[in-house]
């Protein structure tokens, strides 16, 4: 439960319709199994104590009497468990029968929630047996349950909150409630519920699983919540209906776990309540309401222990990149269009028919050139107006030089070579720098000279300089201030390095030009480098990731820092889990320290970034997504990491 994670389960037990003793045995058996796997919230299907398909048997005294006997046994067993359990059962109160969910913890019923929307159509005739509850909440007594039956909250607007785990606020939908235009869980979420449990008995028809899955997934996205859907299974299949036990666990639009249909199973997954709270916090349109003003009653309890939740769900090593190739290809096509459309607008608005790009043969400048060519096509401009400038200097290798030149020719841009060795050496003389000293002055002098050349060429051709730097470099400050840091429009400014690679790969895979494909594939195979230090034996000697760390780690850190505001210790935990077997814990910790130091110290470079298109949910523009003081202290973040190092 540390870092906001809670392990949840959606369970479909074997049942016999009308046999409460057998059903109780199966529910307890599954409760024990869930508890043994450290589940903290277990959800069972609608009316599972009796069976959903009892029909007129619901009107029999013996069934209702034995339902309470079974519920009392479940309460007794729950006292041994540190787990909230939701069980569906029919409850007779004041001359009316209700379809309800019992919320159970520590041998007690925290509350009973009746189903609000009672279907009365086609195969479902619940209105024949069950009453629609009143809107208000009340306190009831169930003498048959002994002491556990005293002072039980009963109502449609109950919230269940853990005092010692405040991120956990539970509310209940029951089957049909979710299928309504405005499900009850909508108001519950606005009143603070972070996790919704749905006890359901949804019969199976052709194609219904697709609709059901999208309902659960989209409701979790709409509410920015966790959503656990526990469905009735084959034990209910009787007469005219078949039930498939289609259990689902979703988190803010992402389906975390799903059972194969037609098999009674328990599925478990960890829901990150901390992430949900963070997401709501940054959404100014998620306007919370006071629970009482919404007619809600909050019931509090305490978990016995707040402990680490073992993670079993997956976390992608590249969170900026879709894992499914079809989704990834769609994303890449969309991003290329966004980049090109943004540049097209800038070109047409400024009446520019020329653009200057410093082309190095590396990934970033390659992507910028591809995007610029696409933008020129969109604007109806001749690609000859793209001035692709190669500026070889001390660190340029033949491989990158040749790729830059060939790529320019194939795309139909204009190639210009401006060697800068002499200009940089003259600059060294002017400032009194020893050219044999390969320090930061040695490197940055080259970067600034290249920007000077590009700016002046752009003036000469009535054009603009297209920036090539990516978002990962901006996050780390891996850019020369007023060097490659500066341009008139930065097309890659919100594209992280891990995604740059896939955009270039997508272009290579979809081009019909084999020569272009081969060059792009070689660019992808080239080590990431600014090529500012002399090569060794003709090969790149300066590899960026040897200096600042692996970009896949930094992009992982960047995503969770900016998207959800996670603490360094939580980001470390997720990275150690996601990259297990790829990087050891000390390596992950080392580069995480580097990331925070550089991210805070280099904000001044991001505070004056050129314009550029936002392509995803995370961006570093100082005018929109990331407004951070340039001189903010990193101390709190580093202390969080230092506390973590004690346990390494």
Q: Is the pLDDT of residue 294 over 90?
A: no
- Indicate the angle between helix axes 585-601 and 635-645, nearest 10 degrees: 170
Q: How far apart are CA 450 and CA 483, in angstroms?
A: 7
Sign, Cα dihedral of 558, 564, 566, 570: negative
Q: Is the pLDDT of residue 397 over 80?
A: yes
Q: How far is CA 174 from the centre of its chain?
A: 27
Q: Write the class of the CATH domain 2-301.
A: alpha beta
Q: Is the pLDDT of residue 531 over 70?
A: no
Tell me which of 40, 108, 115, 605 is the catalytic residue: 115
Tokens of 620: 């570093």
pLDDT of residue 288: 79
Q: Is the pLDDT of residue 627 over 80?
A: yes
In the chain, % helix, strand, coil (3-state, to 5) comes to: 45, 20, 35
504, 516 contact by CB (below 8 A):
no
Tokens of 509: 């895979």
The mean per-residue pLDDT over the stretch 410-439 comes to: 96
Identify whether 115 is a catalytic site residue. Answer: yes
Using pLDDT thresholds of 50, 70 and 90, give the confidence band for residue 307.
Answer: confident
Q: Is the pLDDT of residue 542 over 70?
A: no
Bridge pairing between strands 354-358 and 463-467: parallel
Q: Is the pLDDT of residue 546 over 90?
A: no
Q: What angle do CA 525, 529, 530 make, to 5 degrees?
A: 140
What string of DSSP letters covers 22-82? HHHHHHHHHHHHHHHTT-SEEE--TTTTT-GGGGGGGG-HHHHHHHHHHHHHHHHHHTT-S
The mean per-residue pLDDT over the stretch 323-336 comes to: 96
pLDDT of residue 544: 74
Tokens of 257: 């776990």
Using pLDDT thresholds of 50, 70 and 90, give the confidence band for residue 400.
Answer: confident
Task: Tell me phi and psi for residue 163, to 5 degrees.
Answer: -60, -35
- Indicate the angle between helix axes 363-379 and 398-411, nearest 10 degrees: 10
In the chain, the N- to C-terminal Cα span, in Å, equals: 20
Among 273, 260, 156, 262, residue whose Cα is nearest residue 220: 273
Please count the other Cβ atoms lying within 10 Å of the Cβ belonging to residue 336.
22
Sign, Cα dihedral of 509, 511, 512, 514: negative
pLDDT tens digit sequence for 56-85:
999 999 999 999 999 999 999 999 999 999
Structure-model confidence comparison of residues 529 and 523, the more confident one: 523
Q: Is the pLDDT of residue 90 over 90?
A: yes
14, 264 contact by CB (below 8 A):
yes
Q: Which helix (H) or strand (E) holds 504?
A: helix 497-510
Structure-model confidence comparison of residues 540 and 32, the more confident one: 32
DSSP, res 589:
H
Q: Is the pLDDT of residue 539 over 80?
A: no
Q: Is the pLDDT of residue 217 over 90?
A: yes
Identify whether 497 is a catalytic site residue. Answer: no
Q: Is the pLDDT of residue 347 over 90?
A: yes
387, 413 contact by CB (below 8 A):
yes
CATH 3.40.190.10 for domain 325-645, yes or no, is: no
The mean per-residue pLDDT over the stretch 133-147 comes to: 92
Task: Tell me phi and psi for residue 111, to 5 degrees.
Answer: 180, 160
Where do the DSSP E strands lie in 1-83? 5-11, 41-43
Using pLDDT thresholds of 50, 70 and 90, give the confidence band for residue 270.
Answer: very high
The mean per-residue pLDDT over the stretch 410-420 comes to: 96
Q: Is the pLDDT of residue 530 over 90?
A: no
Tell me which of 7, 40, 46, 161 is the catalytic residue: 46
Tell me which of 48, 54, 175, 493 is the catalytic residue: 175
Q: How far apart are CA 390 and CA 409, in angstroms?
A: 12
Give the chain's mean pLDDT.
93
What is the value of pTM for the model shown? 0.91
Using pLDDT thresholds of 50, 70 and 90, give the confidence band for residue 120.
Answer: confident
Residue owning tokens 């960026």: 544
Tokens of 299: 């019931």
Among 466, 465, 474, residue whose Cα is nearest residue 493: 474
pLDDT of residue 540: 61
Among 81, 88, 96, residue whose Cα is nearest residue 33: 81
pLDDT of residue 624: 84
Among 158, 132, 174, 159, residue whose Cα is nearest residue 45: 174
Please, what's the b/e burial string for 496-520 (b: 16 or more CB within 10 A of its CB; e: otherwise)?
A: bbbbbbbbbbbbbeeeeeeebeebb
Q: Is the pLDDT of residue 282 over 90?
A: no
Domain extents for the chain?
2-301, 325-645
* 284 CB-near residues (< 8 Å, 6+ apart): none
Residue owning tokens 């895979």: 509
Q: Is the pLDDT of residue 171 over 80?
A: yes
- Rg from Cα positions in the chain: 31
Q: How far apart are CA 337 and CA 406, in angstroms?
A: 24
The mean per-residue pLDDT over the stretch 422-428 comes to: 96
pLDDT of residue 527: 77
pLDDT of residue 647: 63
pLDDT tens digit sequence for 577-621:
999 999 999 999 999 999 999 999 999 999 999 999 999 999 999
The mean per-residue pLDDT over the stretch 470-494 comes to: 95
Structure-model confidence comparison of residues 610 and 290, the more confident one: 610
* 452 CB-near residues (< 8 Å, 6+ apart): none
Identify whether 296 is a catalytic site residue. Answer: no
pLDDT tens digit sequence for 551-572:
999 999 999 999 999 999 999 9
SS3 144: helix
């Amino acid at each position: 439960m540390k870092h906001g994670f809670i392990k949840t389960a959606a369970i479909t037990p074997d049942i016999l319709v009308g046999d409460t003793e057998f059903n109780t045995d199966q529910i307890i058996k599954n409760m024990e199994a869930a508890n043994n796997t450290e589940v903290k919230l277990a959800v069972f299907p609608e009316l599972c104590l009796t069976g959903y398909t009892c029909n007129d048997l619901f009107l029999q005294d013996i069934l209702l009497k034995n339902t309470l006997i079974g519920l009392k046994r479940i309460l007794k067993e729950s006292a041994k468990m540190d787990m909230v359990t939701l069980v569906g059962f029919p409850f007779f109160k004041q001359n009316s029968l209700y379809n309800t969910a019992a919320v159970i913890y520590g041998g007690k019923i925290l509350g009973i929630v009746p189903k609000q929307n009672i279907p009365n159509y086609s195969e479902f005739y619940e209105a024949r047996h069950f009453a629609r509850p009143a809107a208000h909440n009340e306190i009831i007594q169930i003498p048959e349950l002994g002491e556990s039956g005293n002072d039980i909250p009963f109502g449609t607007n109950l919230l269940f909150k853990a005092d010692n785990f405040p991120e956990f606020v539970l509310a209940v939908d029951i089957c049909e409630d979710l299928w309504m235009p405005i499900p009850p869980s909508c108001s519950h979420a606005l009143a603070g519920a972070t996790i919704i449990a749905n006890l359901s008995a949804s019969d199976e028809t052709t194609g219904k699983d697709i609709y059901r899955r999208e309902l659960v997934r989209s409701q979790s996205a709409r509410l920015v919540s966790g959503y656990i859907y526990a469905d009735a299974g084959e034990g209910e299949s009787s007469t005219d209906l078949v039930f498939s036990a289609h259990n689902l666990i979703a988190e803010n639009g992402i389906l975390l776990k799903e059972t194969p249909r037609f098999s009674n199973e328990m599925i478990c997954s960890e829901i990150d309540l901390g992430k949900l709270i963070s997401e709501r916090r940054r959404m100014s349109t998620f306007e919370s309401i006071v629970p009482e003003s919404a007619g809600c009653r909050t019931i509090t309890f305490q978990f016995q222990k707040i402990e680490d939740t073992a993670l079993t769900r997956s976390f992608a090593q590249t969170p900026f990149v879709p894992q499914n190739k079809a989704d990834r290809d769609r994303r890449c096509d969309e991003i290329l269009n966004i980049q090109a459309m943004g540049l097209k607008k800038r070109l047409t608005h400024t009446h520019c028919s020329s653009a200057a790009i410093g082309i190095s043969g590396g990934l970033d400048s390659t992507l910028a050139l591809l995007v610029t060519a696409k933008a020129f096509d969109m604007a109806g401009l001749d690609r000859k107006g793209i001035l692709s400038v190669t500026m070889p200097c001390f660190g340029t290798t033949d491989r990158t030089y040749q790729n830059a030149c060939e790529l320019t020719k194939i795309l139909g841009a204009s190639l210009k070579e401006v060697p800068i060795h002499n200009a940089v050496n003259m600059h060294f003389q002017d400032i009194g720098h020893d050219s044999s000293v390969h320090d930061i002055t040695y490197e940055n002098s080259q970067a600034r000279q290249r920007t000077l050349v590009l700016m002046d060429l752009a003036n000469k051709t009535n054009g603009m300089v297209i920036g090539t730097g990516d978002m990962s470099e901006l996050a780390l400050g891996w850019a020369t201030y007023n060097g490659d840091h500066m341009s008139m429009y930065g097309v890659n400014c919100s594209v992280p390095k891990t995604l740059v690679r896939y955009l270039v790969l997508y272009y290579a895979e979809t081009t019909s030009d084999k020569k272009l494909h081969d060059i792009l594939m070689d660019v992808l195979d080239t080590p990431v480098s600014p090529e500012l230090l002399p090569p060794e034996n003709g090969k790149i000697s300066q590899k960026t990731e040897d200096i600042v760390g692996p970009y896949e780690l930094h992009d992982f850190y960047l995503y969770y820092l900016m998207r959800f505001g996670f603490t360094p210790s939580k980001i470390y935990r997720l990275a150690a889990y996601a990259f297990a077997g790829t990087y050891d814990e000390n390596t992950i910790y080392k580069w995480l320290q580097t990331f925070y130091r550089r991210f805070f110290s280099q904000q001044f470079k991001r505070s004056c970034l050129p314009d550029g298109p936002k392509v995803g949910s995370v961006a570093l523009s100082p005018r929109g997504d990331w407004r951070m003081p340039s001189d903010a202290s990193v101390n709190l973040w580093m202390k969080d990491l230092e506390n973590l190092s004690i346990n390494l």
